[in-house]
């Protein structure tokens, strides 16, 4: 494990921002579940596009447009390679939220009264609100599979909710508030046995572990570039080709068409049918560079590095007085906790004074926090460039938090 740790912490030199100070202290960036930092390779790929071949795609018959088109399409291939998808199965969106909304608008609006959508109680608002609103419009019903006090899904309850009425099951692969890992492969099998579609919100898994669309066996996977070393404003919706072919576009306009008359429109082939208008070209190119970077390191190495850090952090936090850690034993690199009765925002503000960036609050999972009886938590989340020394600094700073509020 020491080898993995040293291999990955060596990557720190690629991240210019990690060299800065915050409040006079070296930055310890432990807010990776919110967004990750970007390596020089990604920043340079974006600059290279604007400096050398900035042009619109799929339109111009000129050299710059051809180069931009090739790079944009190559980014789709890289994203497909990352999760073992086929050509045409990768749609670029703005982010995970837009990917899930695309599904809600396209498939969700075909639901009828009596149809059911099954979610879990631990969903991020992005995988809850779109379905809740679609259910209101279509008079279908949303059901929530229970999680226990550690944030782990109750599979028996989940199974009891999935019936012949279920049309869609949607769940996070890794939950962002507590880091629980859902058995999405088994969930997909249960969904399919009742004829329902399986949607996986992989915003917190694809950046941190090997994910294979075929091994998960689900129909749709959503994730964001900005959480995996890439730029903001670009995300992915993977869809099983046979399902995407049946679906209606979500946005209409340029580039998503094959032929238009005043009366009729023939839609473009996959994936362009779902990518209306000028897309985020520089974002896609930067995202492609981020995927190259992650693949060179290997997502299995990223995962074992984060697991080592998480084990270390859990042990270290257990030694701290008054620190209550939430979430299951088996978890991703996300640790939610509170310090006595200190408000999470106050704790995060003191950590910031020490140069430590964490997230505090409800983590866009308000119903889950309410169910757990929490006003919020402090959340530390790790990535490939984090070190044990940063975890040591977090633990020491928590001691200060405790003393300030004693």
Query: What residues between 49 and 78 interact with ligand C6P by CB under 6 A?
Result: none
Query: Rounded to the nearest whole angstrom, what is the least distance from the CB of residue 226 to ligand C6P in the complex?
Result: 6
Please report whether residue 200 would count as binding ligand C6P according to CB under 6 A.
no
Q: Which of 34, 129, 353, 357 binds ligand C6P (CB under 6 A)?
A: 34
Please report whether residue 95 would count as binding ligand C6P according to CB under 6 A.
yes
Angle between helices 299-318 and 388-404 (to 10 degrees): 30
Which of 14, 63, 8 shows the shortest CA–CA distance to 37? 14
Which of 226, 161, 250 shows the shortest CA–CA distance to 383? 226
Please report whether residue 182 would count as binding ligand C6P according to CB under 6 A.
no
Query: What residues between 208 and 237 interact with ligand C6P by CB under 6 A?
Result: 224
364 is catalytic: yes
Which of 277, 294, 141, 266 shows the shortest CA–CA distance to 210? 294
Query: Rounded to the nearest whole angstrom, what is the least distance from the CB of residue 98 to ligand C6P in the complex?
Result: 7
Please report whether residue 37 would count as binding ligand C6P according to CB under 6 A.
no
Query: Rounded to the nearest whole angstrom, what is the least distance from the CB of residue 135 to ligand C6P in the complex?
Result: 19
Please report whether residue 172 would count as binding ligand C6P according to CB under 6 A.
yes
What's the rounded Cα separation, in Å, for the pair 65 and 6?
42
190-210 as b/e: b if 16+ CB within 10 A: bbbebebbbbbbbbbbbbbbe
3-state secondary structure of 240: coil
Please report whether residue 180 would count as binding ligand C6P according to CB under 6 A.
no
Which of 136, 127, 108 shows the shortest CA–CA distance to 250? 108
Catalytic residue chosen out of the listed positions 218, 270, 342, 364: 364
Query: Rounded to the nearest whole angstrom, what is the least distance from the CB of residue 28 to ligand C6P in the complex?
Result: 17
Query: Rounded to the nearest whole angstrom, what is the least distance from the CB of residue 232 to ligand C6P in the complex?
Result: 8
Please report whether residue 101 would count as binding ligand C6P according to CB under 6 A.
no
Helix (H) or strand (E) holding 67: helix 63-83
Please report whether residue 204 would count as binding ligand C6P according to CB under 6 A.
yes
Query: What residues between 308 and 367 interact with ligand C6P by CB under 6 A?
Result: 359, 363-364
Strand residue runs (E) in 219-287: 220-224, 235-239, 257-260, 265-267
Q: Which residues of the shown chain bind ligand C6P in the complex (CB under 6 A)?
A: 33-34, 95-97, 124, 126-127, 172, 176, 201, 203-204, 224, 359, 363-364
Active site residues: 364
């Amino acid at each position: 494990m020491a080898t993995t740790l040293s291999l990955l912490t060596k990557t720190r030199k690629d991240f210019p921002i990690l060299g800065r100070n915050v409040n006079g202290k070296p930055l310890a960036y432990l807010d990776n579940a919110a967004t990750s930092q970007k390596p020089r390779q990604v920043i340079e790929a974006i600059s290279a596009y604007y400096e050398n071949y900035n042009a619109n795609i799929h339109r111009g018959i000129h050299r710059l447009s051809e180069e931009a088109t090739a790079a944009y399409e190559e980014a789709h291939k890289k994203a497909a390679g990352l999760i073992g998808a086929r050509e045409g199965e990768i749609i670029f969106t703005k982010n995970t939220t837009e990917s899930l909304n695309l599904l809600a608008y396209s498939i969700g609006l075909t639901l009828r009264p009596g149809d059911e959508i099954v979610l879990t109680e631990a969903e991020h608002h992005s995988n809850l609100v779109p379905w809740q609103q679609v259910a209101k419009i279509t008079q279908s019903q949303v059901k929530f599979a229970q999680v226990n006090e550690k944030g782990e899904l109750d599979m028996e309850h989940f199974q009891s909710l999935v019936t012949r009425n279920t049309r869609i099951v949607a769940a996070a692969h890794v939950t962002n508030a507590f880091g629980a890992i859902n058995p999405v492969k088994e969930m997909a099998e249960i969904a399919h046995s009742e004829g329902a579609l399986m949607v996986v919100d992989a915003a917190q898994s694809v950046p941190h572990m090997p994910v294979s669309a075929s091994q998960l066996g689900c129909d749709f996977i959503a994730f964001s570039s900005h959480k995996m070393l890439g730029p903001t404003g670009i995300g992915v919706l993977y869809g099983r080709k046979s399902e995407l072919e049946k679906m209606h576009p979500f946005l209409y306009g340029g580039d998503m068409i094959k032929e238009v008359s005043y009366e009729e429109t023939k839609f473009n082939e996959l994936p362009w049918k779902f990518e209306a208008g000028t897309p985020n070209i520089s974002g896609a190119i930067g995202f492609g560079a981020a995927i190259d970077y992650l693949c060179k390191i290997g997502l299995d190495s990223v995962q074992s590095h984060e697991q080592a850090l998480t084990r270390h952090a859990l042990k270290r936090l257990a030694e701290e007085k008054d620190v209550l850690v939430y979430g299951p034993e088996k978890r991703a690199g996300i640790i939610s906790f509170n310090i006595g009765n200190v408000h999470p925002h106050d704790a995060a503000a003191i950590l910031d004074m020490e140069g430590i960036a964490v997230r505090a609050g409800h983590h866009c999972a308000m119903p889950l926090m309410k169910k757990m009886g929490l006003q919020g938590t402090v959340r530390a989340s790790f990535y490939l460039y984090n070190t044990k020394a940063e975890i040591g600094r977090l633990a020491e700073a928590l001691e200060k938090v405790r003393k300030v509020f004693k």
